[in-house]
Structure 1
């Protein structure tokens, strides 16, 4: 640490500047600013730059650089000799081109060649681009015209031999028979597909219906038509409800409490055509059969619901479709 460095560092701190701030102001690398404060001038790029950096540092923190150099003359490296050497080096560099031109002859010709070399390269590049364009526009079109023969140049060979004609006639008959069989098979497949599509359309047109029967006491019956099976979903809103689901024979399918705001998992009646549902708290309970909500008695708290699947319609339609399909196949 030197007295010059201490003075500059104190001035910097007095202005509230960090080394990073000072680096932004002076554009001097931070490591050089640290070297000035520490008096470590050996890391500087040269004596001339040392004095220049100290001067910029001083001006940035409002310290008189002239007075600073006068007060600490012994600490600041002398740069006069370095300035003279730098000026001499510049003079030698300026004189070198003049000496080269003065020689004339070979060096002069070489310089002129390098002057026109970029122009030669540009001209060659332009010629290359023009060749590429010519090739793709004209040369390839000519190749296509040569490769494609005219219709007038094509010849058709005809074999007039009797044996060959007979063989062609037999082959034609075989092809006709194969085509007829294929057409018959395609017609049969198309008719079968048409019957299947009609069956699917008829089944799709049938909409499931739930008919409410009579209510006797707390028991109500319902009939479900146009459906293949019974699927139940029970939910509660406004309170808990107890649910019991059993078959017509009394076998238990589901038994549990459905909490307020929740619903049961899907209850599949499987192959059972009739199920019985006991609802413990009907006013807060919603019962859905195959996704459709059924109407409960409005005044009863505990209710017994009997759900019956009427599959007579679907069976008859299936039998009818099967019969029509069989008739079509027999007719074919």
Structure 2
């Protein structure tokens, strides 16, 4: 007949478990498990732990521990102990921890749940009261008909003031539009050169100083303005999509170079007229737009 240790070891191997697996299941130290398999029960801390460890070992490998405990105590076998116990799943400590966590969860979240239910009940009561009041109508009923009494003199004065204000605004707007149209008519643009790298225009205009309008399109674009033939850059800006900025050309400059990065991401207008600088030879990168102004000096003289 196999000893207690031999029987337990054989059952463990049949279950396909290693000593390490058994240690994780029972939470018993490896040296104690090895001592049980070697029947070295003196290596265990006490008789109590010997009985406890043997019981846990047997239950872990699916064996009924009672016959083994009777043999351990030197008692004869009992036919009633033949039933096989279900294997344990975890140690007593893990079961205690699980129960403790459940109690802690209930203790922590039950007050919050009750408070939430109370808030919902109050909120529902307020909504019900509002609906009830709306069905009964407003506290101060709105009169079916409102009569406004106004003297003829005050009405006439107000109408006159309104007419004068409207007429003044229309006159100002009309004057502004006429000036813009006249300004655009005065500007004459002549294309001198158009290549993928550079474009040159001659502009005849009596306006001074000249204003250049840049408008962002689909992406950001960099702008730099300098006197033609020099590196004297007097204006730099990074234009964002949808943004519009205006740059003023100093009166002493007759020719300027507009250095543009990401040419397809902006439009250029001079005194209200757009320049098709990137239409014939479109590029997505750098381009130099040269503007030569004529008529400014004659206008100043």
TM-score by length of 2: 0.35
Between structures 1 and 2, the one with greater helix share: 1
Q: Which has the larger radius of gyration?
A: 1
